[in-house]
Chain A
Amino acid sequence: MIFDADIHPTILSSDLLSRLPSPWRRRFELFSTRAVAPPMVYPRVRNGGTRLDSWPPDGLPGSDLDLLREQLLDEYDIGFGVLIPMQGHTFGAEEPEYAAALCRALNDAIAELFLDKEPRLRSCVCVPHEAPRQAVAEIERLAADERYVQILLPTGTSSPPGDSKYLPIYEAAAAAGLPVAFHLGGVEGHRGDGWPSFYLEQHAWYGNSTAMVATNLICAGLFERVPGLQVVLVEGGISWAAPLMWSLDEAWTLLREDVPALRRAPSACFREHFWFTTQPIEEPADPAQLVAALEHTGMTDRIVFSSDYPHWDFDSPSIALRDLPKDWRTAIMSHNGHRLYGGESR
């Protein structure tokens, strides 16, 4: 059974409105939500950044379950697909009560329009991440529903993600036995080097913001405070991870008094607490170089296939990763996802 760890659904405004209570329904009608940050503002390569054939006659890419079934689940025999509702990245950054209402409406719409109708799909709990008290309430509301397999956060949180402000979210996730997934996006800064000038720069180096998340969580000592927490780095590449671990370990050897909360080598934290999804995995001209880079991470058992449907840079499950050793590919397409998210019973 193929696991796909990154499928992007879209909930149409009309389906959100009907699930928003007063006064938030009226506010959404009049003002909508705050605009997305530059990742969506850059001129996209083609077709709004999505596959041209993923636009349904009515609606937006990712809004039509039948088309998603036809083009992804049925086409490639995907048995377990995780929805990553990117609308949560912006909804979750609104002021607390509005953010909570939006995320609740989003999670409920996903359940009713996708999960109730399609047993192969799972989703994330989208949370008002800048309002941790409300975020914890949303996690607790949905934790018993096994169709929600992780908590979703954007890489662009208002404060660095290791900030103590967010600790209750991580504690609630661990208490619920759910990983936290970070996906590129959000309304705040593009950490690392700030916003690049062009979409090409950003697309080629999604790993930059993703690496900042991993570094910050480790150095904040998060995994000493919440030892049961697992973190999934979605859509951020992988090959950068080993050199980063080398540098972090060396710095920690020399400078560990700077981060007393971090009691173990950063690489040990990395290898015990993080997972990756594949798309957009780095594709060097010589595939052996990718194999070497992945081997250096020591984490090939913690990489899960992702297609990124319906985005334009979609990876076909039947074509992608063919150059990897067969046992790695089998694990990445299936076994690793099974270990991370559980299998058919969920």
Chain B
Amino acid sequence: MRVAVARVADFQPGERRIVRVGRRSIGVFRVGDKFYAINNHCPHMSGPLCLGRTLPHLSSSGPGDVSLAEHDTLLACPWHGWEYDLATGQSFLGPGEKPARGFEVSVQSGHTVSADAAMRFPDRIPGPYVAETFTVRVEDEYVIVDTRQGGTS
């Protein structure tokens, strides 16, 4: 099912819209010039995920050094605070210790990197939950959410 969410011009960066698509409630988020769509249902305890706060990824290389990512791409469930990557729906626990071992290096397509939660947030531990995400496209100045296939394009 395809649903027009809004005109692009009416949907400013940092805004969100929650739309009903068939029986689903879906949150569409504009982050910079990118759009993301994620199921308004937290896989932990069925909370209304898309009513939660968004936040940027926070990283630190050591004491005294803190850097915030430019855009809010994490979404925290308003109930228990599980945090989800808007792009992949992957949940995350807190910061993790990097394992002291050798790493493999490879060259992958951009699409693969985007979908690999561990590569997007290498200093955090993936959690047990994955929220459903959907494709969002801009067509003829309209933001269109499409539930026929998962994953944000």
Contact = CB atoms under 8 A, between A and B. Distances in A.
A6 B80 CA distance: 17
A315 B45 CA distance: 8
B46 A319 contact: yes
Given A52-B51, A52-B52, A53-B51, A46 B76 contact: yes
A208 interface: no
Interface string A302-324: 00000000001111101110000
Nearest to B48: A53
A313 B47 CA distance: 11
A289 interface: no
Contacts of B52: 52
Given A52-B51, A52-B52, A53-B51, A320 B45 contact: yes
Given A52-B51, A52-B52, A52-B53, A313 B80 contact: yes
Interface in B72-94: 76, 78-81
A47 interface: yes
A45 B46 CA distance: 20
Interface size class of A (residues with CB under 8 A): 10 to 19
Contacts of B47: 51, 53, 316
Contacts of B80: 312-314
A180 B52 CA distance: 37
B16 to A, nearest CB: 14
A53 B81 contact: no
Interface string B13-46: 0000000000000000000000000000000011
Interface on chain A toward B: helix, strand, loop, or mixed SS?
loop
Nearest to B81: A46
Contacts of A318: 46
B79 A45 contact: no
A52 B79 CA distance: 6
Nearest to B52: A52
Contacts of A315: 45
A71 to B, nearest CB: 9
Contacts of A45: 81
A51 B45 contact: no
B45 A47 contact: no
A219 B16 CA distance: 57
Contacts of B78: 47, 51-53
A171 B7 CA distance: 68
Interface string A44-56: 0111000111000
A46 B52 CA distance: 11
23 contacts: A45-B81, A46-B76, A46-B81, A47-B78, A51-B78, A51-B79, A52-B51, A52-B52, A52-B53, A52-B78, A52-B79, A53-B48, A53-B51, A53-B79, A312-B80, A313-B80, A314-B79, A314-B80, A315-B45, A316-B47, A318-B46, A319-B45, A319-B46
Given A312-B79, A316-B46, A319-B45, 6 more contacts: A45-B81, A46-B76, A52-B51, A52-B79, A53-B48, A53-B51
